[in-house]
Amino acid sequence: MKEIESIKRKRTCKFPGCKQVLSIYNPGSYCYVHQRETDNKKYPPLSSVDVR
């Protein structure tokens, strides 16, 4: 059986003010909610992109 890679325990989301403890299986720096927010800033929705 293949062992699942895990990450350091007791990490918290690095989003300002967020105290969410991250899963040992989450390799990112943000919780699920704040990861989506940071992704949206990097890649704005297509409706907000000027395509002229």
Q: Is residue 52 part of a domain?
A: no
Whole domain around residue 20: which residue ranges? Answer: 1-44
Residues 19-50 as b/e (b if ≥16 CB within 10 A, e otherwise) read eeebeeebeeebbeebbeeeeeeeeeeeeeee
- What is the count of structural domains for the chain? 1
Angle made by CA atoms 39, 31, 18, in degrees to the nearest 5? 105
pLDDT tens per residue across all 52 residues of the chain:
665 555 667 899 999 999 999 998 888 899 988 888 777 666 555 565 555 6
pTM comes to 0.57
Give a yes or no: residue 50 inside a domain: no
Residue 49 lies in a domain: no
12: enclosing H helix or E strand = none
Residue 7 is assigned to a structural domain of this protein: yes
d(CA 45, CA 25): 28
* Residue at 52: amino acid letter: R
Inside any domain, residue 27: yes
